[in-house]
Structure 1
């Protein structure tokens, strides 16, 4: 068989070859046309001796003449040999009907409606090796209706391209498909034509990351690290091959970079298949690796995604896999985790809220509700706790637990806290001015520890009290127990300055954190707010459940100790009159909870101030 030259060809030689082939083709087309018109067959000597494989094809698509170069090229193929080619269908010989576009263009050339056709075809030799040929089809001169067909063997060039592509598309360390080839396969699997031609129409992905691989590189060197990656690749490949024996199709194993691997399952059958594959991958990596005299134990975390191919993009699939891999790491490593749309939606919502917090403060999207603080002895309204809400334009009214932690993380708690403090003080002063003959209500405002560190809280409080005219004794600042206990340096100085100013300091959720009672005596604290978990242990009305004696003993002891230290005590989460009665009997000062009122807007507090005392409480 003829083939392309393996050696390098100078540019001038390539140009001369192109001219020679062009001249031969043009001469043959004119000569063949002249012969058809009765002219002398002068072209035949050129046609027969030409190194370019050629054939004359009539308008029916049948070979009427072929030269020895074509016969030699197709030798051993069906219809091989120049004599055996005559009368054969050129489309069958060169596989021109295997795709619709090429077949249509070829027929257009035969009918004289198209000037030429150029295409590359893959034929098969008797030994199974591919024969790549470049085919050119052009009409003959003279209007005979026939065409001249020329064929060039480009197998050598194609094999070189394939070798270069293989190097380009495979990882040199593990010999696995690399990130480029992986995404090419993913993109191809997600094309509409791929899943509409049959199969399950689903796609699955196991995204794997080795736990602690960096330590191997840092302590044993990159050579051992590369050996480990290659060994991991072998085990994952064995897992994929084993999976292919039980279900149609072998998963594609790829190295995406670093210590990240992927197992792609096209036409997956569901999450069970992906879960089995992830489980087998984890088990395969549990056995120790013996490398260069070192025995290494590694584990992996795997994010698993399985979904319909329709509507999925390669980017979306990888984002889901990356998020799920992160969950697997957070959940404890050495495990696989399945993508959870609800968990992802929560994460996306959290990211959206975090990115819009500061602009929301500037746009005035926050508001304050107030929950009454009621005297346990007489049932009268003593004060209120200010609770911030975010009136989000997309997600509706959000409670503090949806955004306060985010605000603390990015520092926006400082401007938000300043706004809450100013708004609450202004409102407390407005209530006082509206009912000058009644005892004024104090307002309790939550303060994050970051507000103490990242701003001058003392100066802010002093400025706000001066602007609003609210007396310092009517302001209570609440800090969590974990933030207050163990305070030293600037936080302790700030709390002491605020206390000296006359502001009350309360420890929120007391009893759930450090509970360092000895340290408590040295803090400028005036109020303890007992965590609601203690109150829930008291008997509920109508449930028939007995009270927890230990809870009552603990609460009574804390109240007694607080009173000995000169502190008042507020009980949170008071929901029944039975709880309120027991708290009153053991000396609790004030209560807060749904028994008295849920958090309400400011105008509702005004109504409560004008009403009777909470003798038994109204939910």
Structure 2
């Protein structure tokens, strides 16, 4: 900053001082948590040390600019998000400028107060020291760095100082031929001139604000205007004193910094902050029937480009995509912003309906159809788009953006390369699912999950061979929640592991009680085992612990896995199943017949039982050959299972006819409402004691 300011320090002292401030900024950049307030202190310190020349702030910020490519490369090399480093540099730059500007403003205001005080003193002491005060005022008036003008209450300009004539590129004579209202500007607000009218009529004594002017050369002049009223000895308005600080450079700097803060550094597009500002403005004063639309898009598979070709190619691809889509959206008069990463959004203000936004999304697909040539690579890009179009009334910017984000997720989960329109009913279902998912850990902790039991009955003699444990959720507000609503959520969130262990512990305790009641003929307990549980390295150890704690014979425990699940089991999960089977635990395949099992592979699995899906049993409800195909399928499955040494249980039996036909086919056991609905453990004890369940 050499040559920009005069400071009462030697060259060595200046160098030492500036190095210290630079080290403070560098430390702030690297600190966690990040705090840009240090940069504000540095800016104020520069003013405090008299670095206040016209070019000081511009040259200071100019030194910060070269940090950006260096930091971006360093962040990418270290595996960090480059945008975070760029945001830190931008935040430090803004804070430094704000601290500098505020300190300089305070200094100027102090000078203004001194001038104002001099005016008042001159008036109050006029009779006693008229010549002295006039000389003092004239010295301040002529030599002040800020522009000063004096006018009467009718708006005539009486006098201006040298600084004022320099600002307006006009002589004192030219300025004094004008009226105050001649300085009106198109950017002035009605509020500003209301304040002026109140001042000249004596309703107020002072006001200050930012105001635009235009000088004699036609250039825009930004100023901080402070206007004060001087009253006569009777208190009547007599003069108005105007003080102008030229803040044009500061305003340009603020405009530049705002542009940096509101635009993406990589693509130059408006960023999330500017998009949210525009979206919020669309909701502030809506007209009748006003609507708004969003196209929220995400590039499909963009991570593969970064991982395979490098972040530099990925960045260049983002720039090319942004340029092409911005041109398309701009032609339609819509704002397009980069939300971060490979996500972009197009804002449709005053939308005419969903059809308009859908057509816009189709146009995005068309704009992306031509491959991008990046560093010698022809890259084809597709996108998924979430569409929201709705009336402005009755909603909010946050809700609208959230709906667009959710709809984008639907588009990607539905297959990518497509658009999806927001659906309130689907959203309500998703919210309900999320609510249940969020409540499940606490529900497990509070004991809201319990186990019902359904018998597996011998088709030969009606005896109870086994019992399946079925988990239920008694929700405190929603009542009984079926497993079809929460099992999938538990698998998605990983809660199926502790939930499955909870069911296993309860089921083994009950099975041990039955074992004590009927040591020789107690049924085995059958527990469902989810795929995620099979992949838990500690599964075998946990099962050993439960068996040891309950004292249950391993031969009286059976795990059920679905057909698709067990056919895809390999590696560690398969070895865990073999370890369980080696302990004497039974392994059964549930819903058999719904997948595409390789029977040759099935022979090599540690399986002892097949449970035929209830969909095949459905066709055997009536006597005779009401559905001979289902009968032949079941007979074939039973024959194949017996051929490789497996027992067969048929699920979903609801009638005596089904039970008899399956017995004749050769099924070993049956399960279904015909024998017993799922219920509490004492119902199983009654069946073991020979008590027939009421029809």
| TM-score bin, normalised by smaller chain | 0.7 to 0.9
Could you say which structure has the greater relative contact order, defined with CA pairs below 8 angstroms and 6 or more residues apart? 1
List aligned pairs for 1:164-243, cutoff 5 A: 164-190=257-283, 194-196=284-286, 198=287, 200=289, 202-216=291-305, 225-243=314-332
Aligned-partner Cα distance in 1 for 2:415–2:562: 29
Aligned-partner Cα distance in 2 for 1:516–1:186: 56
Contact 1:33 1:141 in 2 (8 A): no
- State whether structure 2 residue 662 is matched by structure 1 residue 571: no
- 1:138 is matched with 228
- 2:207 is matched with 117
Task: Give the total of aligned pairs.
Answer: 585
Aligned-partner Cα distance in 2 for 1:234–1:487: 47
How far residue 326 of structure 1 moved from its aligned partner, in angstroms, is: 3.0
SS at 1:163 equivalent = helix
How far residue 370 of structure 1 moved from its aligned partner, in angstroms, is: 1.6
Aligned-partner Cα distance in 1 for 2:556–2:169: 104
- 2:530 is matched with 448
- State whether structure 2 residue 118 is matched by structure 1 residue 63: no
Contact 1:53 1:150 in 2 (8 A): yes
Render the CA deviation track for 1:28-70: whole Å, top value 9, x for unaligned: 677789999xx99979999997983524242xxx314444677
Aligned-partner Cα distance in 1 for 2:544–2:257: 74
Unpaired stretches in structure 1, ≥5 consecutive residues: 1-6, 244-249
Q: Quick one: which of 562, 575, 582 aligns to 1:480?
A: 562
SS at 2:285 equivalent = helix
- 2:589 is matched with 507
Change (3 A) 1:309 1:396: farther
Aligned-partner Cα distance in 2 for 1:139–1:186: 42
Change (3 A) 1:502 1:300: closer
List aligned pairs for 1:146-545, cutoff 5 A: 146-150=238-242, 152=244, 153-190=246-283, 194-196=284-286, 198=287, 200=289, 202-216=291-305, 225-243=314-332, 250-290=333-373, 295-307=378-390, 317-347=400-430, 350=433, 357-377=440-460, 381-393=464-476, 396-408=479-491, 412-430=495-513, 440-452=522-534, 454=536, 464=546, 468=550, 470=552, 472-485=554-567, 495=577, 499=581, 503-536=585-618, 538=619
Greater share of helix residues, 1 or 2? Answer: 2
Unpaired stretches in structure 2, ≥5 consecutive residues: 7-49, 55-103
SS at 1:63 equivalent = coil
Contact 2:150 2:240 in 1 (8 A): yes
- State whether structure 2 residue 176 is matched by structure 1 residue 93: no
Q: Give the TM-score of the pair, scaled to structure 1.
A: 0.76
SS at 2:415 equivalent = coil
SS at 1:599 equivalent = coil
Change (3 A) 1:241 1:462: closer
How far residue 590 of structure 1 moved from its aligned partner, in angstroms, is: 2.1
SS at 2:320 equivalent = helix
Q: CA RMSD in A?
A: 4.7
- State whether structure 2 residue 664 is matched by structure 1 residue 585: yes
Render the CA deviation track for 1:340-374: whole Å, top value 9, x for unaligned: 44544555555555555555434322100122323
Aligned-partner Cα distance in 1 for 2:646–2:306: 58
Render the CA deviation track for 1:549-582: whole Å, top value 9, x for unaligned: 4332221011122233443211112345554443
Aligned-partner Cα distance in 2 for 1:234–1:264: 16
Aligned-partner Cα distance in 2 for 1:398–1:352: 13
Aligned-partner Cα distance in 2 for 1:21–1:525: 92
Change (3 A) 1:263 1:31: same
How far residue 424 of structure 1 moved from its aligned partner, in angstroms, is: 1.8
Aligned-partner Cα distance in 2 for 1:473–1:240: 68
Render the CA deviation track for 1:128-174: whole Å, top value 9, x for unaligned: 97553432211204323244142535444423432343244333443
Contact 1:486 1:519 in 2 (8 A): no
How far residue 451 of structure 1 moved from its aligned partner, in angstroms, is: 4.1
Change (3 A) 1:390 1:31: same
Aligned-partner Cα distance in 1 for 2:288–2:437: 42
Aligned-partner Cα distance in 1 for 2:403–2:360: 18
How far residue 329 of structure 1 moved from its aligned partner, in angstroms, is: 2.6
Contact 2:473 2:481 in 1 (8 A): yes
Render the CA deviation track for 1:278-301: whole Å, top value 9, x for unaligned: 221121111233456654322222
Aligned-partner Cα distance in 1 for 2:550–2:613: 31
Contact 1:251 1:266 in 2 (8 A): yes
How far residue 312 of structure 1 moved from its aligned partner, in angstroms, is: 5.8
Aligned-partner Cα distance in 2 for 1:214–1:458: 37
Change (3 A) 1:270 1:174: same
Aligned-partner Cα distance in 1 for 2:375–2:642: 70
Contact 1:68 1:81 in 2 (8 A): no
Q: Quick one: which of 45, 52, 77 aligns to 2:147?
A: 52
Change (3 A) 1:103 1:576: farther
Change (3 A) 1:234 1:603: same
Contact 2:169 2:217 in 1 (8 A): no
Render the CA deviation track for 1:50-91: whole Å, top value 9, x for unaligned: 983524242xxx314444677997899xxx9656644x758x
Q: Give the TM-score of the pair, scaled to structure 2.
A: 0.69
Aligned-partner Cα distance in 1 for 2:497–2:250: 67
Aligned-partner Cα distance in 2 for 1:291–1:576: 68
Change (3 A) 1:67 1:461: closer
Aligned-partner Cα distance in 2 for 1:593–1:606: 18
